[in-house]
Chains A and B, each alone.
Chain A
Amino acid sequence: MTLISELFALLIFPGFVFLFVAALTFEWIDRRVIARLQGRVGPAWYQPLADFIKLMAKEDVLPSGANKVAAAALPMVALAAVMTAGLYVPVAGRAASYFEGDLIVVLFLLSLPSLAYFLAGWISVGVYSVIGGNRSLLQYFSYEVPFLMALTGPAIFSGTWSITDIVLRQSQTTWTLFVQPLGFLLALVGLIGKLKRDPLDIPKAKSEVIAGPLTEFSGRKLALWHLTMDMQTVVGIFLLVNTFLGGYSFGAALPSVFVFAIKALLVLLALSAASVLYARLRIDQLANLGWRILVPLALVQIAFVIWAGG
């Protein structure tokens, strides 16, 4: 690839600008759908952008015991990890780069924001931040294991560890969803936990720990954190669409961008509906759910895939 096309892929599509626009758009759609499901109007289209600009312009304060260098570095590390992960996830068939094993790299990069989130709570010395950080670490172990196990299913089924090749294989055979519906469900629940959306927004439960690890952040740092969470939503949804829903393939001859967008929006709608339907779980109930129900189901799913494939 030439320098121009590489820079284009890095900065514009599917790089920074596209991820930024997609993050804000997905946040708006999510908030609007949740509002309509609750009988409210919901924000206008420019609300997430206005929130971002407003936060960037606000004053940046930290409590006196907090580690200033770490507080400045953590949101940038998290944002960089998510954006790098986004480069390897193909959007309508086009990824900035791909190689055998990039699924593993993407999953690793997507877990970095969670660890940065916990560290953010640890270094800001407030009570709410520390408790939120502890909860986020507990939650991380409860959902990450079934999520990873669910995502190895499509890789084993397609016989390759590169996301672009998984999409290619699905366009030749069938969507992984039809072969592993249980895996898709587990991946959805894992994604809800990873994105800390309702009903698994335990680390940042507003009525218990105010804002969890991000309580003491403000101004630009908080803007970057929110952008990281939004981009994580986008990359997570795209990952699920590519591994389970066949990416851009449909069978009929429809434009791939259109098909991909529809699938991504359907997954987003499922996430919004899930956040409206249920009450927030307690952390011990989530640990129960994760280890007693989700992990055994994931094991069953993987065993089935290996037995069926072999």
Chain B
Amino acid sequence: MTKVTIPIGPQHPLLKEPLSFLVTVEGERVVDSKMRLGYVHRGIERLCQQRTYVQNVHLMERVCGICSHVHTTTYCQGVEALLGLEVPERGLYLRTLLCELERIHSHLLWLGVLAKNMGFDTIFMYAWRYREIALDIMESLSGGRVSHAVNIIGGVRIDMDAAQVEAVLGQLDELDTHITTLLGVIEHEKTFRVRTQNVGLLSPEQVRRYCVVGPVARASDVDVDLRRDAPYSIYDRLDFKVITHADGDVWARTVVRLLECVESTKLCRQILASLPDGPTSTRAPRKVPAGEVVSRSEAPRGEVIYYIRSNGKDKPARVKVRTPTLPSLLALYDQLRDVNVADISVVLSGVDLCIACADR
């Protein structure tokens, strides 16, 4: 049979962001794949060196639209460590609340995209409709659905009163019922299972070899979660479960992500119940003393690492970002071996690629 090369991207209905995948197929089986990145490279790390620390907070928010808050959180954490700042408790709690809300919104977005690429438009519409609740909560807190601009060096710029806390708790209850419905669908709906089970298999050895992090690793029975292993912010005071699954296919990743949404709503409730009083931010000096820091946090897709080096001025000397999508992209070659053409879309969607994150 002749080999045909299907170009997936840079422009393809399957991808949210430009990425080039040249897949060689023989009939309906994939034989080889080649990937090319860099279509969304904006040179953010270089731009960071030309702007002050304060300006960079907003620049790092624009690395990715879906996980924007996590990027600013990690960056502000790093700079606060360099400055030796103690962020007030209330600020930390509000920061973490938005981190968890962002996790929910990101996972629901991903579920919709996976369903759409599988041909299950209804789940796409439903998942994005329920995601609106999370976005409404974030909008009522910060004024923006996607770009929150909540973090500043030294804390957060927003505050919540008792009425807002009540409203958010009610919306979290609503979100819980809807996530339970979605869990039921992926558990029982036969066509969903049939398309996602045994597709995109990754063994624990492969996960460790490619250093895959996040829900993809946890779905292959590799128990890594930065919130428990290296707690940042206030996670050492919160009580939550780390969800793992043994199957290692796209279905396992779906289960892991939806159960993580349930855990996130529980975390949000804990945060709102124990919100301390006090200020939400402290004054941060403009000049950062010389030094270097590595700041890590658990984005919806896995571990985000920031390396910030300062040489005493008000502009950073180097900011290096390692996003969790990069190792997932490396693991794609193994997943795309000997699959059907129809499985390419499921595999590519199942890994939850955020190319804007990967390309910076």
Whole-angstrom CA separation of A127 from B27 in the bound complex? 12
B117 in contact with A127 (CB, 8 Å):
no
B119 in contact with A283 (CB, 8 Å):
no
Give the residues from 1 to 60 in chain B that come closer than 8 angstroms, CB to CB, to chain A. 4-7, 12-14, 25, 27-28
- The 8 Å CB contact of B119, one of A130, A199, A210, is A199
The majority secondary structure among interface residues of chain B is helix
B125 in contact with A279 (CB, 8 Å):
no
B342 in contact with A277 (CB, 8 Å):
no
Whole-angstrom CA separation of A309 from B6 in the bound complex? 53
A127 in contact with B7 (CB, 8 Å):
yes
Whole-angstrom CA separation of A280 from B117 in the bound complex? 9
Give the residues from 244 to 285 in chain A that come closer than 8 angstroms, CB to CB, to chain B. 276-285
B116 CB within 8 Å of chain A: yes
B122 in contact with A280 (CB, 8 Å):
no
A282 in contact with B6 (CB, 8 Å):
no
A282 in contact with B342 (CB, 8 Å):
yes
A residues within 8 A CB of B12?
A: 210
For residue B19, give the distance in angstroms from its CB to the closest CB of chain A: 14
B121 in contact with A276 (CB, 8 Å):
yes
A205 CB within 8 Å of chain B: yes
A65 CB within 8 Å of chain B: no
Interface hit among B135-143, B190-198, B209-217, B264-272: B190-198
B122 in contact with A37 (CB, 8 Å):
yes
A residues within 8 A CB of B118?
A: 207, 279-280
For residue B302, give the distance in angstroms from its CB to the closest CB of chain A: 24
Chain B residue at smallest Cβ distance from A131: B341
Query: If A127-B6, A127-B7, A279-B115 touch, does A208 touch B195 (CB 8 Å cutoff)?
Result: no
How many chain B residues sit at the interface, stated as a range, is 20 to 34
B343 CB within 8 Å of chain A: yes
For residue B28, give the distance in angstroms from its CB to the closest CB of chain A: 7
For residue B344, give the distance in angstroms from its CB to the closest CB of chain A: 7
Query: If A282-B342, A283-B342 touch, does A38 touch B121 (CB 8 Å cutoff)?
Result: yes
B121 in contact with A198 (CB, 8 Å):
yes
B residues within 8 A CB of A199?
A: 119, 191
How many chain A residues sit at the interface, stated as a range, is 20 to 34
A238 CB within 8 Å of chain B: no
B residues within 8 A CB of A128?
A: 6
Query: If A38-B125, A127-B5, A131-B4 touch, does A280 touch B120 (CB 8 Å cutoff)?
Result: yes
The majority secondary structure among interface residues of chain A is helix
Count the A-B residue pairs with Cβ separation under 8 angstroms: how many? 82
For residue A112, give the distance in angstroms from its CB to the closest CB of chain B: 26
A residues within 8 A CB of B125?
A: 38-40
A79 CB within 8 Å of chain B: no
B235 CB within 8 Å of chain A: no
B189 CB within 8 Å of chain A: yes
B119 in contact with A127 (CB, 8 Å):
no
- The 8 Å CB contact of A208, one of B27, B129, B345, is B345
B119 in contact with A207 (CB, 8 Å):
yes
Q: Name which of B7, B122, B343 has the most chain A CB atoms within 10 A of its CB.
A: B122
Whole-angstrom CA separation of A48 from B4 in the bound complex? 36
B282 CB within 8 Å of chain A: no
A144 CB within 8 Å of chain B: no
B126 CB within 8 Å of chain A: yes
Whole-angstrom CA separation of A142 from B345 in the bound complex? 23
- The 8 Å CB contact of B345, one of A201, A207, A283, is A207
Give the residues from 314 to 360 in chain B that come closer than 8 angstroms, CB to CB, to chain A. 340-345
B119 in contact with A280 (CB, 8 Å):
yes
- The 8 Å CB contact of B116, one of A40, A202, A207, A283, is A207
Q: Name which of A39, A206, A283 has the most chain B CB atoms within 10 A of its CB.
A: A206
B residues within 8 A CB of A131?
A: 4, 6, 25, 341
For residue A207, give the distance in angstroms from its CB to the closest CB of chain B: 4
B residues within 8 A CB of A201?
A: 119
For residue A164, give the distance in angstroms from its CB to the closest CB of chain B: 38
Whole-angstrom CA separation of A128 from B11 in the bound complex? 14
B residues within 8 A CB of A209?
A: 341
What are the 9 tightest A-B residue pairs by CB atom distance, in nearest-first order? A280-B119, A279-B120, A38-B125, A279-B191, A207-B117, A207-B14, A278-B191, A282-B342, A207-B345
The contact sample of 18 A-B pairs, CB cut-off 8 A, is A38-B126, A39-B125, A130-B4, A134-B28, A199-B191, A201-B119, A207-B14, A208-B345, A276-B121, A276-B122, A278-B120, A278-B191, A279-B115, A279-B120, A280-B342, A283-B28, A284-B340, A285-B194
Q: A207-B345, A279-B123, A284-B28 are in contact. List 11 more A-B contacts (CB 8 A).
A: A37-B122, A39-B129, A130-B4, A278-B189, A279-B119, A279-B191, A279-B192, A279-B195, A281-B194, A283-B340, A283-B342
